[in-house]
Structure 1
């Protein structure tokens, strides 16, 4: 018998990556507009932008190692690594696009 979840998993992972890529581009555009003075932006935003990269990378590495240590499939390890980045891009997009 065929397990159809193995066919569905890469598509769901691609979908999550596509969402994150869109949100990341929006965050880049909003931060660029803030740095240019077009949008109001917190003065600590440039520092936050740099610091969150290291935090997300560390969290993603730990999540991937935990998933791999549990013997998860490769797509689940990748999804675990993607989750911290996705959470941050979604939160940044919402925060930066709020009307002040």
Structure 2
């Protein structure tokens, strides 16, 4: 009778996924505050920011769907599929925070 090895990565996966989601949620809140302040004229903001805000959501959703389908098609675990789907959103939130907080 054989014993299965304990997979540490699989055990840590929910925590890693939670960390990714929490970081992205924090950055998303920062982006909302900065863009709202820009729309109210409290901070300087590029005039294309509102359009960019809408367009990037559609692009990220498309990329996320394809990434999730690709991961699922490879037979990835559920947490890996979720992580793949989050990656396009995380990439954008990270870039937006960097862009919106830089000195002008």
TM-score (norm 1): 0.98
Distance 2:23 2:96 in 1: 13
2:51 alignment partner in structure 1 = 47
Structure ID, larger Rg: 2
TM-score (norm 2): 0.94
Unmatched runs of 5 consecutive residues or more in structure 1: none
The yes-or-no answer on 1:62 pairing with 2:66 is yes
1:84 alignment partner in structure 2 = 88
Unmatched runs of 5 consecutive residues or more in structure 2: none
What is the aligned length?
100
1:2 CA displacement: 1.5
